[in-house]
Structure 1
Amino acid sequence: MKRREFAKLSGLGVSAALLPAGLLTGRRVSAEDLLSPWLDVALKKRLADVALNAAKSKGATYADVRIGRYLRQYLFTRENKVQNIVNSESYGIGIRVIANGTWGFASTNEMSAESIARCAAEAVDMAKANAEIQLEPVVLAPQKGFGEKTWKTPIKKNAFEIPVKEKIDLLMEVNGAAMKNGASFVTSNLFFVNEQKYFASTDGSYIDQDIHRMWPTFTVSAVNKQTGRFKSRDALSAPIGMGYEYLSDNPAEKIVIPNGPTTYRYAYNMIEDATAAALQAKEKLSAKSVPAGKYDMILDPSNLGLTIHESVGHPLELDRVLGYEANLAGTSFATMEKLKSKNFQYGSKIVNLRADKIQPNTMGLVGYDDEGVPGKQWDLVKNGILVNFQATRDQVHLLGEKESQGCSFAESWDSVQFQRMPNVSLQPGLDKYSIHDMIKDTEKGIYILGRGSSSIDQQRYNFQFSGQLFYEIKNGAIVGMLDDVAYQSNTQEFWNSCARICDKDDYRLFGTFFDGKGQPGQVSAVSHGCPTTRFNGVNVINTGRKI
């Protein structure tokens, strides 16, 4: 996207400019346009058949079609001002084929039968051209056709049906609560996405899906006017695969920590969290700077979710393992040899990490992936042992499997689908065990909440993570707030130091709206679930002032 086009689309809003450019493509529309009907299912099927028939007539041995309409609404505020409101719509068709044993792809937003047939022919021409340099033919795992199917995210309230004024009023109330309680600055945002996706293939599937995701978030900052120092605290919300009920069906289910913060499950009180954030940002200004050393780390899901994403989700993507992402994002320490050994100790025996495309309320929840494969669950790490990777239809034969894991995703209709991370989650402990129990059982530790800065090497092995809130634990009790905390480890050492996991009653979701991958780059949304978890003897460094 050219700079001029981006500036026009984002309305020169600073907050919008921070989003990945791909999420702002499409035409600007009104909020009312986001609710207007589009192509009916019968017409989508006719257009899909035009593409499939044209591709086969040109020599394709396989073809799939994705007809998509992507709706997005982003609202940005700062203190008592609305900075920007972005409503965008993008639609078109992407056609992927195999011809002469090689992939080809083309797309168009001209939704006539003639332009679609021409687009299919272009995809086949591309495949045949690629076949000249292809060393091995594509091996596609078999997938039965499902006929005509529909699937929808099970939402109670469509966020696009909520008036913009009501959403802005909420953000203004969030900002006001933060300012009233000592914040010097506050920005708050609401992100809503609706993907209306239709998939068809020569396997015989015609699948219509309606997918919803949302993310309420903010950043609160407090300034010490005498010293000029400032501290911030971001929202502890989770981006989530739900409707507006995530915000409106309160009171939220709370998890209250003695002498610590409050977190939420499957409903979120944004005003209450902003109030706490202002008070905590002020408290951080006078918090004790952490002495470096070894600590038992108690990680809240709002913090551990990112560590799971970087140290488990990414290194177990098969294309990264095979080196296909080396040019952009690196490779993986978790090689095929480690998987084949069947005894690689990824973590301690209580560590069970699962890939999942069917868990409710997650952002990776779909009925079918972008290859028409139904959602499923499978183990990545079982009782600490590496047992599998994440793969798509043209990859699973490398794992000796005959069925795709359903990991295919494309950011938009004009992006080719490829292997993307499913939800990857740490399973709860089996014994009844709460965060209160965990704190009581810890002699020298640090309790960390929220996502902070992070760094990890290109093999997803050596890393450093920080957070939003840090609480010192001594002799089984929280004794005060800390600052300047970051923990360092490597993936295998870290997960093998996992000593205790809370039970299912503490299980919560975290994740990201903007997981980047690929060239050209694409983003996807993914959730990571886990309970609060303790890791023993982790190295902590001081990232700030001298003590």
Structure 2
Amino acid sequence: MKRRDFLQMAGMGLGAGLLAQVPLIGNAIPIETPWYTIDVTKKKELADAALNAARSKGATYTDVRIGRYLNQFIITREDKVENIVNTESYGIGIRVIAGGSWGFASTDKMDKDSIAKTAALAVAIAKENARLLTTPVELAPQKGYGEVSWKAPIERNAFDVPVKEKADLLLSVNDAALKGGANYIGSYMFLVNEQKYFASSDGSYIDQDIHRIWPTFQITKIDAATGKFETRNALSAPRGMGYEYLMPRESDKIKGVTTLYRNRYDMLEDARQGAAQVGEKMKAKSVEPGKYDLILDPSHLWLTIHESVGHPTELDRVLGYEANFAGTSFLTLDKWQSKNFNFGSPLVNIVADKTQPGSLGAVGYDDEGVGTQKWDLIKNGVLVNYQTIRDQAHIIGLNHSQGCCYAQGWGDVQFQRMPNVSLQPGAGKLSPAEMIKNVEKGIFIAGDGSFSIDQQRYNFQFGGQLYYEIKNGQIVGMLKDVAYQSNTQEFWNSCKAIADESDYRLGGSFFDGKGQPSQSSAVSHGSSTARFNGVNVINTARKI
């Protein structure tokens, strides 16, 4: 199915807008197709055909990725199911080094002869690339793992859940919002299953089964008298989980300005709250610009972490490899080499982690067959490391890759992608409510909104979904037209308190774009609620 054909089928309004971001659509398959995996013995035979053919043509290194990618999209609006689409994409990508240079080719013809021809093409491309090479590829050493597997620790496979059950949930969410005063609501569920098989000339044969889910909605309320409207998006986070994500547990409940769950999501409750809150937004006071202490909920802070920490610590961006499309980074190598570059306050500890259960980036092995890891990026406010893959590791003196290689599909070249990047909770016992008690003039922000950040990931502006004014330690009402401006160093140095581990939650992006041709990846960012003092707040409705 071509992308334009899919979008024509995909409903209207926000549904089409969201689906425009979806990568690797693949071919449409019947809605109730039973979920299954391809026999690992068959995948090994196909991988060996590629490895043997590449070696016979002169490759000094080869890796093979066999991928079967399943997607399900359920789109509803008010009392109707607008569309349900299942897609499948299945093929093989072969990457080689020959003559010191990379070559890559792929095919969806999954027979041994076609795969051998594709491997030969990859080698021929590498040899042509080598004619222009100035510096040969230098790979960090990586031992082969032999035959191993990794499966996402899901409790209930969302692809096995009847489509009617999922659609009925979305329609009940819509009904709850409409009964709560909303005029319009669109709700959506996106499911992803990546069945990935990796093999390399290093001696690895790795089979992985990865699951992701994203339930979301947008509520709209209109003032009939003025025609003005307000919206409230879901406060859900996409997660690397099964359908159990939509089965909330009382033990995970976090009661605050809005009730959320630590490891689960109550979509019905969020819709009920959202309908009431969008009504409050209609009557909210427009913010007075000035300096405020900000209390940022994890449902909001994840995006600020993503843009101001995740992207600037990508080593390929630091080295200028992304400059033409996505920009560079202010975190240049000289700052890391100084060993004392002040990124943030001493409270700020930020880690990269590809192993975190339930996160979007959690896998056992990356797309170079490297076992995933956890490491420090910012330690006590100081820049200490970056994100690397095998052909970058030597640049910063590492003798191993950090396992950050990923491709969105079998037909795409794998390259450096962001791991989960998260702010660590505060060491002392502290709740968001206790944090708010100490604020004289502040704003509590929940949910992600519009944002802007410069090409070096330094100067930025962020909005959100919900804004509450804090006066003398108490929330006194809702605000609107809020955005805050800062630069990365100034912002993270203004961090004066972080709630403890009991408040820690994951946010994230299903569709983080990067590269040319552009690819999308899914990544999570965790934090507890955090306080930032003296941040500049603007009124987005006022003309400058």
TM-score above 0.5: yes
2:463 aligned residue (453, 462, 466) = 466
Distance (Å, rounded) in 1 between the aligned partners of 2:526 and 2:43: 35
Gap change, CA 1:425 and 1:224, over 3 Å in 2: same
**Paired residue type of 2:510:** F
Q: Take 1:517 and 1:423, find their aligned partners in 2: how far apart are those partners?
A: 15
Q: Structure 1, residues 346-382: CA drift from partner, whole Å, max 9, x if none?
A: 0000100000000111000000000000111010000
Partner letter of residue 305 of structure 1?
A: W
Amino acid at match of 1:58: K
Is 1:302 the counterpart of 2:299? The answer is yes
Structure 2: segments with no counterpart, 5+ residues = none
TM-score by length of 2: 0.98
SS in 2 for 1:448: strand
Q: Which amino acid in 1 is paired with 2:186?
A: T
- Checking the alignment, whether the CA contact within 8 Å between 2:182 and 2:220 is kept in structure 1 is yes
Distance 1:13 1:229, change over 3 A: closer
> Is 1:503 the equivalent of 2:500?
yes
Q: Deviations over 1:189-226 (max 9, x none)?
A: 00100000000000000000000000110011111111
Q: Which amino acid aligns with 1:447?
A: F
Q: How far 1:38 moved relative to its partner?
A: 4.3
Match of 1:99?
Answer: 98
Deviates more, 1:25-34 or 1:417-426: 25-34
For each residue in 1:161-214, what CA deviation from the matched residue of structure 2 results, as whole angstroms up to 9, or x when unmatched? Answer: 110100110000000000000001101000100000000000000000000000
Measured in 2, the distance between the counterparts of 1:208 and 1:99 equals: 26
User: What amino acid is the match of 1:52?
Assistant: L
On the 8 A contact 2:7/2:19 being kept in 1, the answer is: no
Match of 1:490? 487
State how 1:216-295 maps to structure 2 within 5 Å.
Answer: 216-251=215-250, 253-257=252-256, 260-295=257-292
Who is 1:180 aligned against?
Answer: 179
Amino acid at match of 2:429: K
* Paired residue secondary structure (1:308): helix
Q: Distance in 2 between matches of 1:234 and 1:12?
A: 17
RMSD over aligned CA atoms reads: 1.6
Is the partner of 1:468 in helix, strand or coil? strand
Is the CA contact 1:16–1:76 (under 8 Å) kept in the aligned structure 2?
Answer: no
Return the letter of the residue paired with 1:364: G
* C-alpha displacement of 1:6: 3.9
Structure-2 separation of matches of 1:243 and 1:15: 22
Could you tell me the percent identity over the aligned residues?
A: 65
Conservation of the 8 A alpha-carbon contact between 1:31 and 1:160: no
Question: For 2:276, what is the secondary structure of its paired residue?
Answer: helix
- Residues 27-82 of structure 1: CA deviation (Å, up to 9, x unaligned): 101233251x3431111111101100100110100000000100000111111111
**In structure 2, what is the Cα distance between the partners aligned to 1:13 and 1:225?**
21
1:349 matched to 2:338? The reply is no
| Matched position secondary structure for 1:18 | helix
Contact 2:32 2:163 in 1 (8 A): no
- Structure-1 separation of matches of 2:541 and 2:8: 40
Q: Which amino acid aligns with 1:473?
A: I
Residue type of the alignment partner of 1:26? G
1:171–1:80 Cα change, 3 Å: same
Q: CA deviation at 1:11?
A: 7.1
Report what 1:432 is aligned to. Answer: 429
Query: How far is the alpha carbon of 1:5 from its aligned partner?
Result: 3.8
Instruction: Tell me, in whole angstroms, the C-alpha distance in 2 between the residues paired with 1:59 and 1:11.
Output: 50
Residue in structure 1 matched with residue 15 of structure 2 by the alignment:
15
**What pairs with 1:144-159 in structure 2 (closer than 5 Å)?**
144-159=143-158
What CA distance in whole angstroms lies between the structure 2 residues aligned with 1:305 and 1:283?
Answer: 24
- The verdict on how the C-alpha distance between 1:352 and 1:178 changes in structure 2, with shifts beyond 3 A counting, is same
Residues 7, 20 of structure 2: 8 Å contact kept: no
Letter in 2 for 1:126: I
Distance 1:406 1:358 in 2: 10
Give 1:33's aligned amino acid.
T
Matched positions, count = 544
User: What residue is the counterpart of 1:380 in the other structure?
Assistant: 377
Aligned in 2, Cα 1:13/1:226: closer, same or farther, shift over 3 Å?
closer
| TM-fit CA distance, 1:326 | 0.6
5+ residue gaps, structure 1, are none
Q: Distance between the aligned counterparts of 1:535 and 1:224, measured in 2?
A: 34
Which residue does the alignment assign to 1:206? 205
| TM-fit CA distance, 1:418 | 0.3
Give the distance between the partners of 2:277 and 2:17, measured in 1 at CA: 28
Q: TM-score, normalised by structure 1?
A: 0.97
Residue identity matched to 1:150: S
Taking the aligned partners of 2:85 and 2:308, their CA distance within structure 1 comes to 34
* Contact 2:3–2:25 under 8 Å retained in 1: no
CA 542–11 in structure 1, closer or farther in 2 if over 3 Å, else same: closer
Instruction: Report the counterpart of residue 523 of structure 1 in structure 2.
Output: 520
CA distance, structure 1, for counterparts of residue 202 and residue 4 of structure 2: 43
- 1:125–1:264 distance in 2 versus 1, CA, 3 Å: same
Matching residue's letter, 1:362: S
Task: Write the letter of the residue equivalent to 2:311.
Answer: H
**What residue is the counterpart of 1:366 in the other structure?**
363
Partner of 1:414: 411
Cα distance in structure 2, aligned partners of 1:13 and 1:226: 24
Whichever residue aligns with residue 31 of structure 2, its letter is: A
Identify the match of residue 390 of structure 2 among 390, 393, 399: 393
Q: Which residue of 2 aligns with 1:30?
A: 30
Give the deviation of 1:132 after TM superposition.
1.1
What is the CA distance between 1:19 and its match in structure 2? 2.2
CA distance in 1, matches of 2:437, 2:491: 22
Residue aligning to 1:446? 443
The answer to whether the 8 Å contact 1:342/1:385 transfers is yes
> Any idea what SS the aligned residue of 1:451 has?
strand
Question: Can you list the C-alpha shifts for 1:235-289, whole angstroms capped at 9, x where unaligned?
Answer: 11111011100102444722112xx221221111101100100100010011010
Aligned counterpart, 1:534? 531
Number of the residue aligned with 1:76: 75
| 1: CA distance, partners of 2:221 / 2:115 | 55
* Equivalent residue number for residue 312 of structure 2: 315
Distance 1:21 1:527, change over 3 A: closer
What secondary structure is seen at the aligned counterpart in 2 of 1:246? helix
